[in-house]
Amino acid sequence: MGPALYAYTLLIPIFCIYLFLLARSLFLSEEIAIFAVAISTAFPLMYGMWRNVMAEFGITVAVTACLYHLIRSDSFRIRKHVWLAGLFFGWGMLWKISFPVFVLGPLMYVVTRRYFSLPSGPAEARSRLNNLVSFGAAVLLVAGPFYLIGGREVIRFAASSALATQYNE
């Protein structure tokens, strides 16, 4: 447990970096971004609760990083950020099966903004398809093996958690 907690503390600076980058991208201000990081790191959950509920902080890092790369992908135009968004999406799926709930709205906005406008030519249409496939491939690269091997158990657990039993209530 000790080594896992020490390894887990690496997520704190990663979260701070991605939160800074995300806030700077959204508000176009380094001052606001630094303020967002300062406020977030002042939360007791940052240093206390994450030791007990590890998945919650890990999924926070994955959501923050995925959102940052979705914004930086310029509506799925910049392949490097499309890949990184897909990698963090897959990594988030390893933390928790409910991960898509946290990024589905922004992901659908980015995808519809790009894919429901008319392409200017066959090269752009091909680029759109390639980037969408790249995103899916990155997700499958990271989360695919786990869900391929343990998918039945995950579905079984999700189904049993949804039942109205005395244990679940």
CA dist., res. 120 & res. 87, Å (int): 29
Question: So what's the pLDDT on residue 47?
Answer: 62
Residue 162: C-alpha distances to residues 10, 55, 153 (Å): 34, 20, 14
Which residue type does 85 have?
A: A
- CA 66, CA 113: separation in Å to the nearest integer? 17
Sequential pLDDT tens for the chain (169 residues): 677 677 778 888 999 999 999 999 999 999 999 999 999 888 776 666 555 556 777 888 999 999 999 999 988 888 999 999 999 999 999 988 889 999 999 999 888 877 777 667 787 778 878 888 999 999 999 999 999 998 888 888 877 877 777 776 6
Helix, strand counts (H, E) of the chain: 8, 0
Domain ranges of the chain: 2-162
